[in-house]
Structure 1
Amino acid sequence: MMTPSLIARMQTDLGAALPRWNLSSQSTISFLSHSENTTFLARDPASGRRLVLRVQRIGYHTSAEIRSELAWIDSLIAEDAVVTPRPVADGEARPLSQIVLNGSPRQIAAFEFLSGKEPDPSEDLVAWFGKLGAISARLHAHSRRWKRPPDFQRKVWDFDAMLGTRPLWGDWRAGLGLRDDGLKLLERVADTLKQRLDSYGSTNDRFGLVHADLRLANLLVDGPRLGVIDFDDCGFSWFFYDFAAAVSFMEHEPVVAELQASWLAGYREIAPVSRGDELMLPVFVMLRRMLLTAWIASHSDTETARQLGSAYTDGTVAMGERFLQAL
């Protein structure tokens, strides 16, 4: 578990390594967040530079996978496809550094600081989702045409990786507080999801490299600008799964219907959406909800998991019942 004392020790060790990114001895470092990874903000008053340092979770991504993520971000920035923080190599031109933190070697990726704040759910999320739809379409267009490096490696987020035989975020059946009746219902939901996804297929026009985590916490609003951060979960999945990720943790709210309409309108300003694609959006939302139920159970050391707990599992069961009734 990531305790405050461990974070403090990590912060001290990482602070001592800041010259690796050509930051001055006057630089300071502060803790930002702990979720899949642990992030810190470094500030250099001498130069005015600010860097976000992402300490990778042990055992999640290989070095090749992280370098592939950074390569995609560099290409997206080069083609002006999205506003996102630029990866920063260390003083030896390495995009990924390895530093001993708390006695263990850890992989560190550094990024330029991007101003802004998370969209406020109490404000006009519908308008922002129109912009997010257009951003998603541009990301997908880039993904389809980009010639990836020959050594490019990212995880595949298909059914088996989410809810099936090789669950990357843990088994949804371990959902906090999941009872036998809920388990039986969600088994039916999982079977139905697999059938719908198998029928939809994973051809190149529907399945490719996606961000896979465009939730509110990974969006930065600054005036009229909407920026995107945290490509750490990017991988190969269904393009329209990106909408489901965008409504993470609010999947059950009535506003989702309006958010979907706005997202689709923004997407269609850039690229077409078929009726078949649109009909799959509720399927992807349910898929994402069950995946997050597994994530909460397997990431109990995070603040998000502690806040949501078993109530989120109960909500998943209720959503699953509505999903089956709507078929």
Structure 2
Amino acid sequence: MSVPSESQTLLNDRLTRLARDSLRLWPFGSAPTAELISHSECAIFLVDDSGRKAILRIGRPGYNSANAIRSELAWLVALHAESGVTTPEPIRGRDGNYVQTACGQGLAGSRDMVLFTFLDGSHLDETGNLCTPFRRLGEVTARLHNHSENWVRPPRFERLVWSVENILGGKCALWGDWRQPVGGDMPSLGVLERAAKVIRKRLMLFGKSAKRWGLIHADLRLANLLAYGNDTRVIDFDDCGLGWYLHDLGAALSFIEDRADKDELIDSWLQGYTRHREVSALERAEIPTFVMLRRMQLLAWIGSHPGTDLAREQRPRFVEVSCKLAEAYLAAGAIAA
């Protein structure tokens, strides 16, 4: 694990102070505690109230509006009630609202916060053979997608839109410009630009029919699953939004796209997924495109989140490996739409 920078440590300290000061907004006892357990798009805290646990999420300003967060929570509540997929449930504050807002000393602007129920379970093993975990991941992903396709969204529903433009669109993209970490490396920029051009062309032809595009988790990888006996539980919905369903397969391979057994993992994911939902031959043909799209999205994330542990760990070889993946994508015949 890399050592956080001084500025990241200061930010974490300020967010921790805000978390502890804000616990009064919920009906806890007299001395609840809050401990920072992760900080990426959001800051996540484990809350302990005399042995009763909960998860507090503090959002990043400008990423999701309060209405977008309420929309996310509406889907979570519906998923929990209607799909059979276990998800964290939001907990209302003392004022009856799920979303609480507060300002913290030394923090720019206000922060939107949500408290969730704590889910028991363990993360799936990511160190050995991943075929069985990927089948499990594919199966629960299909159940989410089936619910998404049939769910009637409430009025004023608002979430992020994971379109090509919002992923590859440079400075206007939701996670920033994928070119930023590449810098002035012209050969690398060239191969990645060619890959981006092919991705745009293929997905324009692929289209956004109701069977292919809908409400997705958008970060559905093993790190966001909890196993509890035979139950597969899904956490971390803060990136959820409208996108291609196959984007969730690309997300499943986040940071491991260069594994030698990648094709076996994709097959395992599809085995689990197709127990509940069909994948057409045309959709299967675009899986490499969605894997490459996600990789370029992560390239942007690495550039726009330099202070996070994950970005510091991944950055040294991320551009180099991304270029190799792009070259393989193009060489495999992806140019022919």
TM-score, normalised to structure 2, is 0.92
Shift of 1:178: 5.9
Instruction: Output one character per residue of 1:230-259: Cα deviation in whole Å (capped at 9) or x when no partner.
Output: 111111111111111011000111222111
**Does structure 1 residue 308 correspond to structure 2 residue 314?**
yes
Match of 1:3 in 2: 8
Matches within 5 A, 1:72-83: 72-83=75-86
Instruction: Give 1:148's aligned residue.
Output: 153
Looking at structure 1, the residues matched to 138 and 29 of structure 2 have their Cα atoms a distance apart, in angstroms, of: 40
Residue among 99, 107, 110 paired with 1:96: 99
> What displacement does 1:162 show?
0.4
Aligned to 1:106: 111
For residues 200-211 of structure 1, the aligned pairs below 5 Å read 200-211=206-217
Residue number in structure 1 paired with 2:56 = 53
Structure 1's 112 and 201: CA in aligned 2 closer, same or farther, altered over 3 A? same
Q: What do the CA deviations read for 1:213-243 (whole angstroms, capped 9, x no partner)?
A: 0122211223433211011111111111111
CA distance in 1, matches of 2:121, 2:184: 38
Q: 2:89 aligns with which of 86, 91, 94?
A: 86
1:214 matched to which residue of 2? 220
- Counterpart in the other structure of 1:130: 135
Whether 1:258 aligns to 2:264 is: yes
2:32 is equivalent to residue 23 of structure 1: no
For residue 26 of structure 1, give the secondary structure of its aligned residue in structure 2: coil
Which stretch shifts more, 229-238 or 16-25? 16-25
Q: Give 1:181's match in structure 2, choosing from 176, 183, 187.
A: 187
Instruction: Report the Cα distance in structure 1 between the residues aligned to 2:312 and 2:298, rounded to whole angstroms.
Output: 13
Corresponding residue SS for 1:117? coil
Quick one: structure 1 residues 231 and 273, their matched pair in 2 at CA, closer, same or farther if it must change by over 3 Å? same
Structure 2 distance, partners of 1:132, 1:36, is: 22
Unaligned runs of 5+ in 2: none
**2:241 match:** 235
Q: Which amino acid letter does the alignment assign opposite residue 78 of structure 2?
A: S
* 2:273 pairs with 1:267: yes
Q: Which amino acid aligns with 2:248?
A: D
Q: CA deviation digits over 1:63-99, x for unaligned, max 9?
A: 1111100100000001143111111111111110012
5+ residue gaps, structure 1, are: none
Partner residue of 2:282 out of 272, 276, 283: 276
Deviations 1:169-224 (A, max 9, x none): 11111124561001011111001111110111111121111111012221122343
Tell me the CA shift for residue 156 of structure 1.
1.0
Match of 2:291 among 285, 289, 301: 285
Amino acid at match of 2:52: R
- The answer as to whether partners of 1:81 and 1:139 remain within 8 angstroms in 2 is no
Letter matched to residue 302 of structure 1: T
Q: Tell whether the 8 Å contact from 2:83 to 2:143 is kept in structure 1 after alignment.
A: no
Provide the TM-score with structure 1 as the length reference.
0.95
- CA pair 116-176 structure 1, distance change in 2 beyond 3 A: farther
Question: What residue is the counterpart of 1:158 in the other structure?
Answer: 163
Letter in 1 for 2:241: G
AA aligned to 2:66 is S
Alpha-carbon contact 1:140-1:209 (below 8 Å) kept? yes
Q: Which amino acid is 1:55 matched to?
A: I
CA separation of 1:270/1:107 partners in 2, compared to 1, >3 Å: closer, same or farther? same
Q: Quote the residue 2:37 is aligned against.
A: 32
SS of residue matched to 1:213: coil
1:174 counterpart SS class: coil
For the Cα contact (< 8 Å) 1:64–1:153, is it kept in 2?
yes
In 2 relative to 1, CA 173–80 (structure 1 residues): closer, same or farther, beyond 3 Å? Answer: same
Q: Is the 8 A contact 1:154 1:236 kept in 2?
A: yes
Give the whole-Å Cα distance in 2 for the aligned partners of 1:178 and 1:304: 23
- Aligned residue pairs total 325
**What is the one-letter code of the residue matched to 1:21?**
W
Q: Secondary structure at the match of 1:326?
A: helix
